[in-house]
Structure 1
Amino acid sequence: MEFILGIGLALPITSATGVSVVTGVAQGVSEQQKQNADASNQTRMLKFHLDVVVDPGAGRGKGAELNGTIVTLRDDKMWIEAKSPITRLPLEMSHHPFTGFYVAYPDDDRPYTRGLVSTISVDPPMLNWIYIDKDTLEMKYASRSGSIAHHVGSYDWTSEEPENSRITFDEYEGFLAVEEKDGQWALYFDMNDDGLKEHKKGRKTVEVSLQRRVISEQETNKWGLAGEGNIGFKKTREV
């Protein structure tokens, strides 16, 4: 089991008996110091959903339907799904929308890395790291131990202005939607800038941008997020 220890996202290990072990606490303190160095830009701590934008030229034919959709999390992966024009949330209400923010990734073996986290459920309000699978280039989510061997950052954005603020990975907007089944689109990252040549396996792909939609203060608790200070997440079960 893992749980969030304050804003530093230290992830101490808890044994099956519920006795907390100190492993990871020192790492969390160190990572908090790195986080403080980045905290001058408080807007990176704002919580947001991710809407999908498709360039008209890239979205010819079937891919055009992806414009104006939303990113969701289920089955350990990130998906692109239809969005209600009224609620601006997934049409399938049981699917959890990406609901997260930027924060330092705690790993002493890496240089300072800005990670990306999201809640994966509302009750309990569990939090996972967003990562790119090193073997398949799928966008996935997991606990720290499940993500640490993969590409975990550095994430950023194209602009602080909400209307132009899109997610980047290593300063690159390389996100692709892959149609895994008819009408089911999963999110990938074009790490090698080759259109997923070795990974798409004949499946249709569409270039997409991920637009930040900042969540209002009054909405934060709805998604298991505190407005300020300690995030207050409950225990996150190890996968």
Structure 2
Amino acid sequence: MSNELTFLVAFATVFGASEAIKHIQSDARRKEHRSRKNNLIVRCLKSCQYSSILEGRRVVLSGDKLYIDTGTHWAGEFGHPFAGYYLAYPDSSASGLVSTICDEPPIMNWIYVDRWSYELKFGNRTWADDNFPIPWDCSRQDRRLTFGGWEGFLAVKEGDFWSLYFDVDEDHLKSKLPEGTPVLEIELIRVEMRITKPKPPPPEDKPEDKEKATENAKESSDAKDRAEGAADANAANGASDGNGADVANGDAAGEAATNGGANGHSGPDKADGSTYPKGAYATPPEEPLESPAVD
């Protein structure tokens, strides 16, 4: 009996440890895929006259809104392709969604739903806080984008463009758009970004190049010392003349500095040491997020 009990206890211990390891590995994979940049691709739920135009198209950022790139202008790109991932929203336990808004430098902005128009937009945290910035997530199997725990994304035709909305009131935006506006239900698929060729590392400095650079720096320093010595000698000779020209020049320079510089222009000490023309530097506005490195 004691042997059977010992076996059951040992089996339960091993099984529990195995399940704990699986849970840790699953959680690590979940966090890894959520932190990787993805593009967004449109999938239409119903077939209609516009579905062939929108099906498989990517989402782009332009102005302050999210659009569907229908590719109608072949000669140039429209907007910046969505390249984003989930990120914990400040002062909240929910996940926000960020995307690059340009490549150089790779600045990130928050994606949010406008509280008045229900449009999908992007901006810094100040703009996001005033609207609906959370919670963003994805479906378990296909990892489709969700907001508020469900999928209510709509494509709306605005002139020659298709913009993205979220059906907050579940009425196909009847209270927000003019009657007759084309509105299509869509899904937003997160897809892995295209892998590009990595940039080559910078060339390493050869030993002989380092020695040559050191010699050039030494020669430059010696030339500077010789020039300063010659200038000191000339100054000494001028002072020995006794005509007082240098003293007069020094007094004039000091008076100009006291009166705000030559011709009345202010010097570098204006506005408490700032050279900013309108006074001291103001506190800069909140900057967007910087894109972290992605493996």
SS at match of 2:42: strand
Structure 2: gaps (5+ residues): 1-26, 200-290
The structure with more helix, counted as a fraction of residues = 2
Distance 1:219 1:51 in 2: 23
| Structure 1 residue aligned with 2:294 | 227
User: TM (normalized to structure 1)?
Assistant: 0.66
Alignment of 1:117-128 (within 5 A): 117-128=98-109
Aligned residue among 127, 133, 154 for 1:176? 154
Which one of 37, 41, 60 corresponds to residue 31 of structure 2?
41
Give the 5 Å matches for 1:49-68.
Answer: 49-55=39-45, 58-68=46-56
- Structure index of larger Rg: 2
The answer to which of 61-70 and 190-199 deviates more is 61-70
2:168 corresponds to 1:191: yes
AA aligned to 2:47 is G
> What secondary structure sits across from 1:65 in the alignment?
helix
* The one of 99, 109, 128 aligned to 2:83: 99
| 1:41 Cα deviation from its structure 2 partner | 2.3
2:182 to 188, 200, 204: 204
Tell me the residue number matched to 1:144.
125
Higher strand share: 1
How many residue pairs get aligned? The number is: 175
User: What letter matches 2:190 in structure 1?
Assistant: R
Q: Report deviation, 1:194.
A: 1.1
Name the structure 1 match of 2:110: 129
Instruction: Report the secondary structure of 1:43's partner residue.
Output: helix
RCO comparison, higher one (Cα < 8 Å, 6+): 1
Structure 1 residue aligned with 2:222: none
Between the two proteins, what is the percent identity of the paired residues? 35
- Once the 2 structures are TM-superposed, how far is the Cα of residue 217 of structure 1 from its aligned partner? 5.7
Q: Deviations over 1:187-228 (max 9, x none)?
A: 00001111112112221100111011112565799xx66224
Contact 1:52 1:71 (C-alpha < 8 Å) held by counterparts: yes
Where in structure 1 are there 5+ consecutive unaligned residues? 1-37, 85-89, 229-239
Secondary structure of 1:226's match? coil
Aligned to 2:263: none
RMSD: 2.5
Task: Give the partner amino acid of 1:169.
Answer: F
Cα offsets for 1:115-134 (capped at 9, x unmatched): 00000011121110000000
5 Å-filtered alignment, 1:74-85, equals 74-82=62-70
Distance 1:193 1:71 in 2: 22
Cα deviation 1:65-109 (Å, max 9, x = unaligned): 21111100011000001259xxxxx97425210000000111x3x
User: Could you tell me which residue of structure 2 aligns to residue 113 of structure 1?
Assistant: 94
TM-score relative to the length of structure 2: 0.54
**What secondary structure is seen at the aligned counterpart in 1 of 2:50?**
helix
